[in-house]
Amino acid sequence: MTAELKAARHDAILSITLSNPGRGNALDPSMLTAAIETLSAVDRDDSVRAVVLAGEGSQFSQGMELPQDAPGRLQALESLHSLVDMLRSYRKPVIAAVDGLAADAGLALALACDLVVATRQAQFALTPAQQGTWATGGATWLLAQALPPALLAELHLDPAPLGAQRLHAAGVVNRLAADGRGLQEALAWAERIAAQGSASPQATELLKEMLRDARGQSLEQHFNGEKRRLAARRA
């Protein structure tokens, strides 16, 4: 069976599913390209208010399948970087529904989402196969923003995956779901967010930008940003 990206509408929610049966939903270049194209198209559709990213079946994604040739590997990594960057700056809320293993590039995609719902048996890992390259789509950087140093070091030095409950306690996973219920819980949460939120995509984009900036700003810089955004707001 071939790798593919599946997309489905649930009223105001779009679900995107990574599907690579028999390969732990490993990402290949075609899936990355399809994800970027799908998100770009949905960005222009105001009837879609939130996005849920999941893996097919009982896995999220075990990482990326790199082409054999050096130019192809570099191009695939650049596509992964583009997708991670798009998820982080996307104008609409994006929720990751993690079941099974989220490793390497799969871990980066989950961390790039705004919110993470994980089943209690879900696991997160950086695999020994990545040592020497760490071509994981920024997973190390994303983890460093969210984890205390000791836990960050453990995840990199010990090949054993970290369970969802430990990352929930650390604040990386927002909500835990019963096994097999991750996608359903994520969709239900996305529906509540879409139904209660009256903000435009532009306002959501601004909010996400403000949250990202706040981590590296002084309070004075944050104050200045508030004044700049208020001055730019249309009456």
User: Over the stretch 15-42, which tens digit does the pLDDT of each residue have?
Assistant: 999 999 889 999 999 999 999 999 999 9
Q: Clarify whether residues 138 and 220 are in a common domain.
A: no
CA-to-CA dists, residue 180 to 9, 22, 94, 121, 193, angstroms: 20, 18, 20, 9, 22
Q: From start to end of the chain, where are the E strands?
A: 4-10, 13-19, 50-55, 94-98, 101-103, 115-119, 123-125, 162-163, 175-177
Q: Are residues 209 and 192 both part of a single domain? A: no
Question: Could you read off the pLDDT of 75-134 as tens digits, one per residue?
Answer: 988 999 999 999 998 989 999 999 999 999 999 999 999 999 999 999 999 987 665 566
Q: What is the tally of structural domains in the chain?
A: 2
Residue 207 or 134, more confident: 207
Kindly list the distances between the CA atom of residue 96 and the CA atoms of 129, 135, 173, 227, in Å, as whole numbers in the listed order: 24, 21, 10, 33
Under 8 Å between Cβ of 59 and 179: no
Answer whether residue 193 shows pLDDT above 80: yes
- DSSP state, residue 92: S
Does 206 lie in the same domain as 189?
Answer: no
Are residue 14 and residue 78 in the same domain, yes or no? Answer: yes
* pLDDT averaged over every residue in the chain: 89
Q: Confidence band (pLDDT; 50, 70, 90) for 199? A: low
- Provide the domain limits for residue 227: 201-232
**Domain match, 130 and 209 both:** no
Same domain, 47 and 68: yes
Of the pLDDT bands very low, low, confident and very high (cuts 50, 70, 90), residue 226 is: confident
Least confident of 41-45, 53-57, 127-131: 127-131
More confident residue, 136 or 154: 154
Whole-angstrom Cα distance, residue 151 to residue 171?
A: 12
Asked if 95 and 44 sit in the same domain, the reply is yes
Are 30 and 123 in the same domain?
yes
